[in-house]
Amino acid sequence: MNLDEWFHKGMTAQEYVDSMETHQENLIYIYENFSIATDDYPFFESLQKRDLRAIILTEDWCGDAMLNIPIYLRFAEAAHIQTHFLRRDENLELMDQYLTNGESRSIPKIIFLASNGDEIGTWGPRAPEIQQFLDDSLANLPSKEAPDYTDKQRQMLTFITKAYRDHQDFWNHVYVDLKETLK
């Protein structure tokens, strides 16, 4: 399939959010509490003229998707980017074309398309500052052989999810990185 066909196969944002079972409440919270700065309107007006579309490969259990997708949805609204969602695990043929570092099926992965269906860029799975936060957090985990590893990992994932939901500076890092991708 070409990217245009993948796009048409996808769900709308509303269909995706309605289907969520894991992080729906947190995603909606971020969406409702994030807004685009009026100073950025000229940037978004220029994007509107480009008539872009996007495909997002994601899964609703993913904490990075919980953080990034609501920020992206505000971004897409301002830029008039029609967006469709595909579940990663049901669309590995496409996902495997967009591996992170050539090896990882990290999500979300946003594929930006020109009006003719050609890829013009990708974004994801996270902004560099968020990657640094994750790297620092993971460095504090005990080794996988430690008896308390599973418990510590679960605690860390809860901490990361809460940080994603509550730290608006994280939201801004995502927003700024998305803008850089389409400048």
Residue whose C-alpha is closest to residue 11's, from 117, 89, 84, 109 = 84
Model pLDDT for residues 93-111, shown as the tens digit of each residue: 999 999 999 999 999 999 9
What pTM did the predictor assign?
0.94
Q: Are strands 109-113 and 53-58 parallel, antiparallel or unpaired?
A: antiparallel
DSSP string, 139-158: HTSPPTTSTTHHHHHHHHHH
Which CATH architecture best describes the domain 3-126+168-181?
Answer: 3-Layer(aba) Sandwich (3.40)
Q: Where are the domains of the chain?
A: 3-126+168-181
Mean pLDDT of the 7-31 span? 97
Model pLDDT for residues 24-60, shown as the tens digit of each residue: 999 999 999 999 999 999 999 999 999 999 999 999 9
| Encoded tokens for 33 | 């509490």
Model pLDDT for residues 124-170, shown as the tens digit of each residue: 999 999 999 999 998 989 999 999 999 999 999 999 999 999 999 99
- What's residue 140's pLDDT? 87
Please give the backbone phi and psi of residue 177, each rounded to the nearest 5 degrees, phi first: -65, -40
| Encoded tokens for 99 | 């591996």
